[in-house]
């Protein structure tokens, strides 16, 4: 894939050089990233990141994955979630849920993008960016807003490097969900489940972004470590950086989309 139409549009606009986040500013609420769990548990990974068939993973791959994939619980407050929802709701309400995405990766969704936010929302978005990207990353000015219906799902895909840079990070609103990652060369063995609690932030970079397909499980199969995680309507606020300019084709045309 596989980026949504909005993502494609967004990513055609700017050029940049990228530095991956060093993630050195440790927020004490950040307990759900692999590296910080070194302090707290006997598991090398966090309680929101479940590596399946771990014994079959090459050690170097596991280490790289743990470096490149993060889930931050309670990244935003209830009030901040309400602020973001209120801000995107009017626009989303005017759109119909679509049955299938243009490349068939997403079912029952509606989406838009937004570059102008209220001051409160702007500070939330800036916090997502600060936490997810290096200080000299060139951010997309537009943030992708994806509204997944209760019965919707996102099938396995890798965001196209033509339209998306080295980091994909998203905050989940309204519903918990499970994001499954499968290694592109061994989809049946090298699997990771992320428990994306409502109001959490996930960050995919490096191998997690480029070597693993990601998907959001449908409600009927939404399980994390055998526990069913009910999936309701879920809105994700997704920040991306710009693709390497060498990946962008001069023939790419902006897509038709509607701003919030």
Q: Which residues bind ligand OGA (CB under 6 A)?
A: 3-4, 146, 154, 159, 170, 214, 216, 236, 238
> Do 13 and 140 form a contact (C-beta atoms < 8 A)?
yes
Is 37 near Mn ion (CB under 5 A)?
Answer: no
Euclidean distance between the first and the last CA atom of the chain, given in angstroms as a whole number: 24
Residues 28, 40: Cα–Cα separation, whole Å: 12
**Token pair 């139409």: residue:** 5
Q: Provide the minimum distance between the beta carbon of 42 and ligand OGA in the complex, in angstroms, as a whole number.
A: 29
Choose among ligand OGA, Mn ion, none what residue 193 binds, the Cβ cut-off being 5 to 8 Å by kind.
Answer: none
Which is closer to Mn ion, CB of 78 or CB of 104? 104
Rounded to whole angstroms, the Cα distance separating 9 from 14 reads: 11
Task: Tell me whether residue 120 is exposed, middle or buried, using C-beta atoms within 10 angstroms of its C-beta: 0 to 12, 13 to 18, 19 or more.
Answer: middle
CA distance 232 to 150: 4
Q: Least distance to ligand OGA from the beta carbon of 172, Å?
A: 6
Least gap, CB of 216 to ligand OGA (angstroms): 6
Residue whose CB is less far from Mn ion, 121 or 148: 148
Q: Which is nearer to Mn ion, 31 or 237 (CB)?
A: 237
Closest separation in Å from C-beta 237 to Mn ion: 13
Residue placing its CB nearer to Mn ion in the complex, 159 or 211: 159
Pairing of strands 186-196, 143-157: unpaired
Which residues of this chain interact with Mn ion, rule CB under 5 A?
A: 159
């Amino acid at each position: 894939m596989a980026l949504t139409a909005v993502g494609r549009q967004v990513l055609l606009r700017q050029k940049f050089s990228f530095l991956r986040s060093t993630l050195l500013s440790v927020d004490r609420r950040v307990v759900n990233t692999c590296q910080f769990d070194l302090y707290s548990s006997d598991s090398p990974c966090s309680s929101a990141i479940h590596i399946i068939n771990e014994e079959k993973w090459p050690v170097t791959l596991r280490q790289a994955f743990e470096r490149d994939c993060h889930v931050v619980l309670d990244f935003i407050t209830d009030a901040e979630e309400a602020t973001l929802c209120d801000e995107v709701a009017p626009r989303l309400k005017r759109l119909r849920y679509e049955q299938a995405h243009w490349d068939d990766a997403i079912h029952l969704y509606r989406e838009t993008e937004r570059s102008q936010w209220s001051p409160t929302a702007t500070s939330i978005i800036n916090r997502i960016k600060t936490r997810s990207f290096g200080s000299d990353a060139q951010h997309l000015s537009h943030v992708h807003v994806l509204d997944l219906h209760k019965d919707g799902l996102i099938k396995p895909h890798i965001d196209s490097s033509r339209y998306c840079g080295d980091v994909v990070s998203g905050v989940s609103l309204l519903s918990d969900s499970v994001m499954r990652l499968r290694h592109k060369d061994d989809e049946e063995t090298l699997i990771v489940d992320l428990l994306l609690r409502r109001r959490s932030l996930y960050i995919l970079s490096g191998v997690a972004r480029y070597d693993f397909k990601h998907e959001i499980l449908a409600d009927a199969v939404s399980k994390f470590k055998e526990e069913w995680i009910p999936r309701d309507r879920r809105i994700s606020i997704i920040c991306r950086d710009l693709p390497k300019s060498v990946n962008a084709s001069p023939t790419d045309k902006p897509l038709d989309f509607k701003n919030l």
